[in-house]
Amino acid sequence: MRHKAFAFLTLGFALLIAAAPAVAHHSFAAEFDATKVVTKRGFVTKVEWTNPHVWFYVNVKDEATGKVTNWGFEMGPPHGLQTRGWTRETMKLGDEVIINGSLARNGSPRVNARTVTMAKTGKQLGAASSEGTNP
């Protein structure tokens, strides 16, 4: 009887641990404001192709002040991007990109990307946004 109880508790604990990442995942509305849509243009400095979201960073120059800020852009998960035509090689360091998306609620230089356009080719890809409104 003790072995069954131990096995049951172990299984329950394993399921609880496995569910933790799903509970920790954020909603779009908690971090980003769909009413604050922006377009940013700049050069890619970093790409993090990981779950649960792909992030990339772009140096964006403010046209009014000339100040350069490194912005972070959240996209969907790798599998969501792959269904929209992305590969790990689609965006490389130094590429110029144009991003349309929603600003972070906390005022930080972060955006939930809706679309990404490669400036060199004009190719536009959906960013598999958690907002659910992009191609």
Domain boundaries, the chain: 28-126
DSSP H or E segment with residue 28: helix 28-31
Confidence of residue 9 (pLDDT cuts 50, 70, 90): low
Confidence of residue 129 (pLDDT cuts 50, 70, 90): confident
Residues in the chain: 135
Residue 15 pLDDT > 50 = no
User: What string of DSSP letters covers 55-116?
Assistant: EEEEEEE-TTT--EEEEEEE---HHHHHTTT--TTSS-TT-EEEEEEEEETT-SSEEEEEEE
User: For 69-119, what is each residue's pLDDT tens digit?
Assistant: 999 999 999 999 999 999 999 999 999 999 999 999 999 999 999 999 999
pTM (predicted TM-score): 0.77
**Domain 28-126 = CATH 2.40.50.140:** yes
Handedness of CA 10, 13, 17, 22 (dihedral sign): positive
In the 8-state DSSP scheme, what is residue 119? T
Contact 58, 73 (CB under 8 A): yes
Give the pLDDT of residue 5. Answer: 54
Residue 24 pLDDT > 50 = no
Contact 44, 95 (CB under 8 A): yes
Measured CA to CA, the distance from residue 38 to residue 55 in angstroms comes to: 17
